[in-house]
């Protein structure tokens, strides 16, 4: 049985004063059946991890370098993130693939670094609208998955997030049929590559315009173990109903 996960991605949003939202989430979103993870800008990771240390909430980052240390101005390593209190890191988000030309090999190296530091790697895959319109969705996602996920992946160290690029920040949500098709494909591909045990236990999140009013229908889709939430993770008022919908959803 896979444990559910409600993950937030604050992206390049948030100042110290906004960390009050974490207290509100911890106080008002009971989630005994789900992991709660909030991925913050690097500047907030240490104070946030201190702030939530008495709750079950995990703090995560949004990227890391593949090296542990060295001459990489402006970068941050998985070792440093773990030292600051992070428990996880998002890797290969489409915004990084687009803005920083990250390819699968880069994401895989970062995921190996994350694993070596004890961080959960939340590895993102997703097609653009042009790729979907061209009928290439599963080819694109299969190639991203194969390239980005290290051979050393385990169910404890890797989570996959399916985020169609055209659904991110657009308010345009994938249909439940579209989500079901991709998640079934991801599950089969992971089982094929790893084993029924490992491939069947790696969690699959959906991301892209997840909101309080559409969360329940997404969590009812087979093979959806939770969500990676952008805009609606910034406040407890938006995030808590999503967590509640996840808690109320069927258990995989
Ligand atoms: O990119 C996302 C999460 O990583 C999704 O963002 P939105 O929920 O704002 O669409």
169 is in an annotated binding site: yes
Among 93, 131, 183, 223, the active-site one is: 93
Q: What is the domain extent for residue 39?
A: 4-251
- Each residue's pLDDT tens digit, 135-177: 999 999 999 999 999 999 999 999 999 999 999 999 888 999 9
Q: What whole-number distance in Å separates Cα of residue 19 and Cα of residue 245?
A: 23
Look at ligand 1, atom 7, and give the residue with the nearest C-alpha: 230
Specify whether the CB–CB gap between 117 and 79 falls below 8 A: yes
**ipTM of predicted assembly, 2 dp:** 0.99
Instruction: List all residues 6 or more positions away from 133 whose beta carbon is below 8 Å from its beta carbon.
Output: none
Strand partners, 200: none
CB distance 169 to ligand 1 below 6 Å:
yes
| Residue 9 confidence (pLDDT) | 98
* 247 carries an active-site annotation: no
Region 216-230: mean pLDDT is 97
**Model pLDDT for residues 88-142, shown as the tens digit of each residue:** 999 999 999 999 999 999 999 999 999 999 999 999 999 999 999 999 999 999 9
> What is the rounded average pLDDT for all residues in the chain?
97
Is-catalytic flag, 163? yes
Indicate whether residue 242 lines ligand 1 (CB < 6 A). Answer: no
CA-wise closest residue to 92 among 189, 193, 211, 228: 228
pTM: 0.98
Partnered with residue 205 across adjacent β-strands are: 161, 226
Domain count, the chain: 1
pLDDT for residue 252 = 53
Share of residues in the chain with pLDDT > 90 (%): 94
Domain of 31, CATH number, reads: 3.20.20.70
User: pLDDT band for position 30 (50/70/90)?
Assistant: confident
């Amino acid at each position: 049985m896979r444990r559910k996960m409600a993950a937030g991605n604050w992206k390049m949003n948030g100042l110290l004063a906004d960390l009050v939202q974490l207290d509100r989430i911890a106080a008002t979103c009971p989630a005994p059946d789900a992991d709660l993870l909030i991925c913050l800008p690097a500047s907030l990771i240490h104070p946030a991890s201190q702030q939530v240390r008495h709750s079950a909430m995990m703090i995560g980052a949004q990227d890391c370098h593949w090296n542990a240390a060295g001459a990489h101005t402006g970068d941050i390593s998985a070792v440093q993130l773990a030292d600051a209190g992070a428990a996880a890191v998002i890797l290969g988000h489409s915004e990084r693939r687009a803005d920083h030309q990250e390819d699968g090999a880069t994401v895989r190296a970062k995921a190996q670094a994350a694993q070596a530091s004890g961080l959960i790697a939340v590895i993102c895959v997703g097609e653009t609208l042009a790729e979907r319109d061209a009928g290439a969705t599963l080819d694109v996602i299969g190639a991203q998955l194969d390239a980005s996920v290290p051979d050393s992946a385990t169910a404890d160290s890797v989570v996959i997030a399916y985020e169609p690029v055209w659904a991110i920040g657009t308010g345009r949500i994938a249909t439940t049929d579209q989500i079901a098709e991709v998640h079934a494909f991801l599950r089969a591909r992971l089982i094929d590559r790893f084993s029924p045990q490992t491939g069947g236990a790696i969690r699959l999140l959906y991301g892209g315009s997840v909101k309080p009013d559409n969360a329940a229908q997404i969590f009812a889709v087979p093979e959806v173990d939770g969500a990676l939430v952008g805009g609606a993770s910034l406040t407890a008022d938006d995030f808590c109903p999503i967590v509640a919908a996840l808690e109320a959803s069927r258990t995989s």
